[in-house]
Amino acid sequence: MILGNASANIVKVYDFPIAIMRQYAERFFTLFFLNIHLYLQSWHKCLSAANVRSWNYFHETFCFSPISLIMQIHEFERGLQGRVAIITGAAVGNGRAFCERLAEEGAIIVIADIADASETVKAAEAIGARVLSLKVDATNPQDVQQMAQTVLKEFGRIDILVHNVGKYEEEPFELLSFDQWRQMLDLNLNSLFLTTKAVLPAMKEKGFGRIIALSSDTVWLGTPYLTHYVTAKMGVIGFVRSLASEVGKYGITANAITVGLTAIQRPEQGGRVSSSILEHILPTQSVQRGDEPHDIANVVTFLALPASGIINGQTLNVDGGVARH
Ligand SMILES: NC(=O)c1ccc[n+]([C@@H]2O[C@H](COP(=O)([O-])OP(=O)(O)OC[C@H]3O[C@@H](n4cnc5c(N)ncnc54)[C@H](O)[C@@H]3O)[C@@H](O)[C@H]2O)c1
C-alpha cells in the first residue's frame, strides 16, 4: 500500500548549493593539477626536443589553459552524471551504500522504501546528489506504478533500477507454511516483476537502461532451511537471463549479483550484526575479510555505467570467494 499520495511523500528534490559548490571546487583542483601536469609535460618536451611542433604545443597549452580550464570544469562529467537511479529497499543496509556510491558517480537518486529513509537521503545529499525519497511497497502494483510516474514527472527519465528489496528468513521446509513461501516470493521475486514492468517503457523510450537485481550466493551453495529464499533468488537469475535477451536490442541490460553474507552495520544491534556469523563464514571465504556494503556497491555501479553496456543477462558472484560461479 502506498503511504499517502506519492507526491506528498517526496522528501526533498533540490540542488544542494553547498554540495554543488564543493563538486565544482573538486573539479577545479582535479583539472587544475591535470593542466599543470600537461603544462610541465609540454615544457619538458620543448626542452628535450626543441622542434616547431612541440613549441606550438607548449604555446597552445600555455595560452589557452585558463579558458580551457574553465570549460573543462563546466563540462567535467562523472560516470553517471544526470542519470536517474531508482534503488528499492534503500533505507538501510546495502541499499544505502548503493545510493552513496551511485551519488558519487553523479546519479540522481530515487529511494523507494517502505520505511523512513531520511538517513539515506542525508548521506546521498552530503555527496551532492539530488535525492527523491518515496514511500513504496515494492510488492504492491499500484505503489510501484505510481513510483515510476512520480519519477518521470520529476526527472523525465529512469535510467537505472537497482532491485534490492529482499528478506532472509530461515525455516526448515517441513515447518514452512504456504504463507511464508508466498511472502518470500512476493518480496524477493514478484517485486522485481513489478518494478521492471513499471520502468521498462521509460528506459526503452530513451534507448538506455540498467536493471540490476540483487540475488544471493545461497543459490550456488544450496543453503538449508531456505527453500523459499533460494527459490526466489534463483528466480531473480532466471528473470534477468531471459529479460536480457528481449531488451538488449534497446540498449537495456539486465544483470544479477549474488551476494554473500554482508557485514552491515545495524545501530539497533550495536554495530556489525553479522560479527558472530562472520566468524562462521570467514573460514569458508578465500578472502579473509567480511564483505562490506561498499564492495557490492562498487559492482552495482560498475554494471550501471554506460561503459558496461556489453554485459547482459549475467550473474556476478560477490561473496569473498565462498561459492564458485
Ligand atoms: N545482507 C546480506 O548479508 C545479504 C546476503 C545475500 C543477499 N542479500 C540481498 O541483498 C539485498 C539487501 O539486503 P540487506 O541485508 O541490505 O537488506 P535489509 O534488510 O538491510 O534492508 C532491506 C530494505 O528493504 C526495505 N523493505 C522491506 N520490505 C519492503 C517492501 N515491501 N517495499 C519496499 N521496501 C521494503 C526495508 O525497509 C529495508 O530498508 C536483499 O535482496 C538481500 O536478499 C543480502
* b/e sequence 238-258, b meaning 16+ C-beta within 10 Å: ebbbebbeebeeeebbbbbbb
Out of 98, 144, 164, mutate this one to test ligand 1's pocket (max ligand atoms within 8 Å of CB): namely: 164
Number of independent structural domains in the chain: 2
Residue 303 lies in a domain: yes
Question: Residues lining ligand 1, judged by CB closer than 6 Å?
Answer: 88-89, 91-95, 113-115, 136-139, 164-166, 168, 187, 214, 216, 259, 261-262, 264
Å from CA of 113 to ligand 1 middle:
10
137 and 27 in a common domain: no
State which of 49, 75, 101 marks the end of a domain: 75
193 and 111 in a common domain: yes
Q: What secondary structure, in 3-state letters, does the chain show?
A: CCCCCHHHHCCCCCCCHHHHHHHHHHHHHHHHHHHHHHHHHHHHHHHHCCCHHHHHHHHHHHHHHHHHHHHHHHHCCCCCCCCEEEEECCCCHHHHHHHHHHHHCCCEEEEEECCCCHHHHHHHHHHCCCEEEEECCCCCHHHHHHHHHHHHHHHCCCCEEEECCCCCCCCCHHHCCHHHHHHHHHHHHHHHHHHHHHHHHHHHHHCCEEEEEEEECHHHHCCCCCHHHHHHHHHHHHHHHHHHHHHHHHCEEEEEEEECCECCEEHHHCEECCHHHHHHHHHHCCCCCCECHHHHHHHHHHHHCHHHCCCCCCEEEECCCCCCC
* Ligand 1 atom nearest to 92, measured from its CA: 39
CATH number, domain with residue 130: 3.40.50.720
Range of the domain at 284: 78-318
Residue 225 appears among annotated catalytic residues: no
How far apart are the C-alpha atoms of 141 and 34, rounded to whole Å?
A: 50
- The per-residue pLDDT string of the chain (325 residues; one tens digit each, 9 = 90 and over) reads 344 334 434 444 444 566 667 767 776 776 677 667 666 665 665 555 555 555 555 555 555 556 666 665 555 557 999 999 999 999 999 999 999 999 999 999 999 999 999 999 999 999 999 999 999 999 999 999 999 999 999 999 999 999 999 998 999 999 999 999 999 999 999 999 999 999 999 999 999 999 999 999 999 999 999 999 999 999 999 999 999 999 999 999 999 999 998 877 665 555 555 566 667 788 899 998 888 999 999 999 999 999 999 999 999 999 999 998 8
Residue 324 lies in a domain: no
184 and 61 in a common domain: no
pTM here is 0.81
Residue 297 lies in a domain: yes
45 and 186 in a common domain: no
Å from CA of 242 to ligand 1 middle:
24
165 and 116 in a common domain: yes
